Structure 1
């Protein structure tokens, strides 16, 4: 099966305007994402889909492949569908443009999930959570999967809820009283592989009730019967949501790369 990576990248952001062009160790963030995606062995192409000529020009300047898309898309999924609709790849991988630490083997792993299991419409990844503060951080999305690796639910809340290890006080504070080694909390890594027909279906589905509640687009797929296969990775990623995250990424790169 043929595969391509599409990186949705928009300039406007309420928390970090111009984020894709923010410099990380002297290079724009979008280049870090693009270069890491190019190292994957299974995709035949890597494309940046953007709504802004500044991002388009920056990608072209470092020799990357970019296409212009509409500015009014409601989500990254809609943006990659516009970029992919005239392409003939069987699998489209959505790599977020604010994930500069994404690794090539993570991209290959998502593609392998779809190649190896024809029941899966979407493939994604999870990582074991080892710090209690991540469990209760709503910005860290948690996932629960069944014994076959299919997602049962995604949430910003701590799932599963360990009743004997967790206390909610009267003033709504959450206290964790256990050992993390005794738990099975998993962080969702925001990379998605779509079968071509599933991506087309996602682009026309209406926002679902659970999606509105959690602000998690993957719940739209689940509410409409699309099965999401979840693989496990040991690699950590640092998504860039605000300027302070740039320093975290640079520290990681200067320490481990």
Structure 2
């Protein structure tokens, strides 16, 4: 089974433009992420796929593998799908370009899902983290996920799901972490399917997979990665690196 990592990288991020090229410990964020993915030794190959010449040049200078997008894309899955369409691969892992501290343990859990799925019943695997703080549960920037008894996603939403109507119930809330492992076939099917109504409403791309009948296995992790969405996040990441031995 051939497994690769794809790191989608847009330069013009809405909340923090150019964040992937900001300096983090002497290297751009995207280069730091790429090297961390390579050093995890989980993948046969690692690529950055981008629409930016600035990011491309930075990766090439650092000796990295980079693919330029041929089209404009609304989401990371579409960008990755275009890049892998003609590649001979089985499993594609979407590594977030703005999360340079790779959680190797969680990524290994995603890969294990497919290594144990002998009947090829699982189309995607992704991560969830338990939420306990009420503000975080209500925060629409945190995508929540609910699953069935077998750990497969039923729905994703920016709203609070499930709704706690019965206050005596033992209800857990989970945040979806945007790290995906795809079978290539599921990714290409996604790429060839127009944006679906619920996906458009919520602005959550993984809903499209559910709407077309794909099965998403959710794996719980307790590791909260450091994502760089704002200048404050970048400063936290810089301080984190300074504390490392």
- TM-score > 0.5, shorter chain as reference: yes
* Corresponding residue for residue 195 of structure 2: 207
Moved more, 19-28 or 2-11: 19-28
- For the 8 Å contact 1:36–1:103, the answer to whether it is kept is no
Helix, strand or coil at the partner of 1:186: strand
* Corresponding residue for residue 156 of structure 2: 154
Q: What does residue range 40-55 of structure 1 map to in structure 2 within 5 Å? A: 40-55=40-55
* Corresponding residue for residue 90 of structure 1: 90
Q: Which 5+ residue runs of structure 1 have no aligned equivalent?
A: 166-177
Q: Which 5+ residue runs of structure 2 have no aligned equivalent?
A: none
* Corresponding residue for residue 19 of structure 2: 19
Q: Distance in 1 between matches of 2:156 and 2:238?
A: 29
Moved more, 97-106 or 77-86: 97-106
- For the 8 Å contact 1:111–1:193, the answer to whether it is kept is yes
Q: Distance in 1 between matches of 2:46 and 2:28?
A: 17
- For the 8 Å contact 1:121–1:198, the answer to whether it is kept is yes
Q: Distance in 1 between matches of 2:244 and 2:127?
A: 22
Cα offsets for 1:151-187 (capped at 9, x unmatched):
011111121222245xxxxxxxxxxxx9xxx541111
Q: What does residue range 1-257 of structure 1 map to in structure 2 within 5 Å? A: 1-117=1-117, 118-165=120-167, 183-255=171-243
Q: Distance in 1 between matches of 2:148 and 2:171?
A: 16
- For the 8 Å contact 1:126–1:189, the answer to whether it is kept is yes
Judged with a 3 Å threshold, the aligned counterparts in structure 2 of structure 1 residues 253 and 163 are, in CA distance, closer, same or farther, namely: farther
- For the 8 Å contact 2:11–2:52, the answer to whether it is kept is yes
- For the 8 Å contact 1:41–1:104, the answer to whether it is kept is no
- For the 8 Å contact 1:125–1:230, the answer to whether it is kept is yes
Helix, strand or coil at the partner of 2:54: helix
Q: Distance in 2 between matches of 1:82 and 1:17?
A: 24
